[in-house]
Structures are given as structure tokens and as C-alpha cells.
């Protein structure tokens, strides 16, 4: 199985052949990889120049002019540089044909590899977004993705292209603990607030996991909130009730068709 070192070796091997070249054609001979290769990808990728080839964990990232092609080698995949006319062998599933007359040929007998295209920066692709317990989800990361974004911080927190797995209930509770109002523009966060929010997200999720692990039968569907965890909520579904910290009345608002709750005193 290609591990990180093999993927990096592949990256270095193909880099001199691919960077600066234009993709003449993306030929998908077998779209049934781990996830189906989207038919639109041929059109999206064709004609674009390869600006750089990066790597993120075990993904190869082809940075193109208007987006990023993400290749995962899976359990048994390999990528070789060949003259484009070279006859295909079994398990040659994809050819990235370059204007040099060469092809980047993806071979994968077990077909656990995957190929995705994203029009945005690579880190916004769902399969690359970090989970809250991932080391990559840190204050620096949260701070950097909030720059220049006018979207409300709560909606950013629930955007699975940026971080995976923060549901509505947890986003509300984490923002309370971090003392940040859910409707604040993401770009208004300070570094200190970003750091608090990362800690708060983890604290809230950890608490829910702990409770979920011991009182599984108390689970009550909807938002996946355990009955026991619900008793410990500071703001979620507590509109007009007294804040547990300062006794001010908890407020409610709708954001992107999801309910948000906050304390007007504790959160700024
Ligand atoms: Zn309060």
C-alpha cells in the first residue's frame, strides 16, 4: 500500500514532467474507482495548465489554473509518466494526457484510489478538510480560513468543506464557550478568539462523546443530542431562558435555516 513516502516519491518523480504542461485531455477508461469519477471532470480539467504538484497526506494535488485535481493512490495505485501512445495494460484506469506528448497514467488493480476535482483551493475539498480532533484543525488554520470571509462564523464552522463534523448543536455550544456571537462575520475574529473557538469545539465534542458513550440509550434523534448532554447545554434550544452564567435571556435567530442561540451578555 502506498504510504506517505511512496506518494511523495511519486510526486517528485512526475513533477519535472508535468509542471508547466497543459492537460490536453483527461481520459477516464474506468470511472468506477473508490468513488465514481465525475463525468464533468473531463471537461473541467481539459485545457488547463498544471501550475504545481503538491501533496497533502496521501493525496497528490495537481494545482491547475482554475482548480485542483486530487488523486489518491488507494491500496494499490501507481502513477507513471509514459508516452501517451503507449498501449494500455489491465488496470490502467486514467490518463492525464499532456501537451508534451506524455501521459500521466494511473494504474490501480484494486480500484481503491480516487480522483476528484475541485474548483476552489484544495483545502476546501471535503475529503481534505480536517476533523475537529485533527492536528490540522488548530488556531492558525481557523484564523487563516476566516480571513476576508464575510459569512457568519457559525455558518463557517458548519461548512464541511472547511472542517468536518461540527453540527448545529455543537456549533452553538462551542460559540457560547468561546464567547463569540454566532452572527459575527468570520473575518472579524481575532487570533485569540480563533484559538478559543478551536478549544471550545473540541471541549464540546469531547463532552458529547463521553456522555454518548455512557448513556447511549438516552439518545434522542434530531440533532443527535443525548438526553443527558442536553441538560448540560448552555444555549441550544434555551431561547428566552436565563443564561446559566449571567442570567441574561438567551436569544434565538435563524441562520441559513438553522437555529442559533446566544447570550447577549456573555457573547460579543
Ligand atoms: Zn450569559
Which CATH number covers residue 253? 1.10.8.50
Q: What's the CA-to-centroid distance between 180 and ligand 1, angstroms? A: 11
Q: Are 93 and 16 within one domain?
A: yes
Sheet holding 50-56, edge to edge: 50-56, 59-64, 68-72, 114-118
How many A from CA of 74 to the centre of ligand 1?
49
Instruction: From 72, 96, 124, give the residue that closes a domain.
Output: 124
143 and 93, same structural domain? no
Looking at the structure, tell me whether residues 99 and 207 fall in a common domain.
Answer: no
Q: Are residues 103 and 206 in the same domain?
A: no
Look-up of cell digits 494535488: 61
Give the SS3 label for residue 8: helix
134: in domain = no
Residues 156 and 243 in one domain: yes
Classify residue 54: in a domain, yes or no: yes
59 belongs to a structural domain: yes
Which of 77, 97, 124 corresponds to the end of one domain?
124
Let me know whether 37 and 68 are in one domain. Answer: yes
Average pLDDT by stretches of 10, the chain with 268 residues: 72 93 97 91 97 84 94 89 95 97 95 89 71 87 93 93 83 96 98 97 82 41 49 88 97 95 98
- Residues 119, 23 share a domain: yes
The domain total for the chain is: 2
Distance from the alpha carbon of residue 224 to the mean position of ligand 1, in angstroms: 25
Boundary-marking domain end, from 66, 90, 124: 124
Residues 50 and 109 in one domain: yes
202 CA distance to ligand 1 middle (Å): 21
In a domain, 130, yes or no: no
Asked whether residue 129 is domain-assigned, the answer is no
Is the domain of 92 the same as that of 148?
no
Burial of 160 (0-12, 13-18, 19+ CB in 10 A): exposed
CATH code of residue 83: 3.20.190.10
- What's the start-to-end Cα distance of the chain, in Å? 49
The answer to whether residue 58 is domain-embedded is yes
Judge if 249 and 156 occupy the same domain.
yes
One domain, residues 120 and 145? no
Query: Is residue 59 within 8 Å of residue 78, measured between CB atoms?
Result: no
Catalytic residue numbers read: 2-3, 58, 258
| 267 falls within a domain | no
Q: Evaluate whether residue 251 is within a structural domain.
A: yes
The rounded Å distance from CA 245 to ligand 1 centre is 5
Q: Is there a single domain that holds both residue 99 and residue 155?
A: no
Structural domain harbouring 17:
4-124
181 CA → ligand 1 middle, Å: 11
Give the chain's length.
268
3-class DSSP state for residue 45? Answer: helix
114 vs 130: CA distance, rounded Å:
18
Q: What is the pLDDT of residue 132?
A: 86
Amino acid at each position: 500500500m502506498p504510504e506517505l513516502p511512496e506518494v511523495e516519491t511519486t510526486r517528485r518523480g512526475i513533477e519535472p514532467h508535468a509542471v508547466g504542461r497543459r492537460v490536453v485531455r483527461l481520459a477516464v477508461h474506468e470511472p468506477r474507482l473508490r468513488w465514481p469519477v465525475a463525468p464533468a471532470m473531463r471537461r473541467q480539467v481539459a485545457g488547463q495548465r498544471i501550475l504545481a504538484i503538491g501533496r497533502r497526506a496521501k493525496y497528490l494535488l495537481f494545482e491547475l489554473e482554475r482548480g485542483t485535481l486530487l488523486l489518491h493512490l488507494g491500496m494499490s495505485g501507481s502513477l507513471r509518466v509514459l508516452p501517451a501512445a503507449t498501449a494500455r495494460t489491465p488496470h490502467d484506469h486514467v490518463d492525464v494526457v499532456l501537451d508534451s506528448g506524455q501521459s500521466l497514467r494511473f494504474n490501480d488493480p484494486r480500484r481503491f484510489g480516487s480522483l476528484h476535482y475541485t474548483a476552489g483551493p484544495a483545502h476546501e475539498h471535503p475529503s481534505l478538510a480536517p476533523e475537529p480532533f485533527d492536528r490540522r484543525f488548530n488556531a492558525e488554520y481557523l484564523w487563516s480560513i476566516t480571513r476576508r470571509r464575510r459569512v457568519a462564523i457559525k455558518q463557517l464552522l458548519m461548512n464541511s468543506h472547511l472542517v468536518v463534523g461540527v453540527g448545529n448543536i455543537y456549533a452553538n455550544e462551542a460559540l457560547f464557550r468561546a464567547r463569540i456571537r454566532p452572527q459575527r462575520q468570520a473575518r472579524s475574529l481575532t487570533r485569540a478568539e480563533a484559538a478559543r473557538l478551536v478549544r471550545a469545539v473540541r471541549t464540546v465534542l469531547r463532552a458529547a462523546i463521553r456522555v454518548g458513550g455512557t448513556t447511549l440509550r438516552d439518545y434522542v434523534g434530531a440533532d443527535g443530542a443525548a438526553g443527558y448532554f442536553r441538560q448540560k447545554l448552555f444555549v441550544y434550544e434555551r431561547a428566552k431562558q436565563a443564561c446559566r452564567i449571567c442570567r441574561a435571556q438567551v436569544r434565538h435567530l435563524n441562520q441559513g435555516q438553522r437555529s442559533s442561540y446566544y447570550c447577549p451578555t456573555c457573547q460579543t
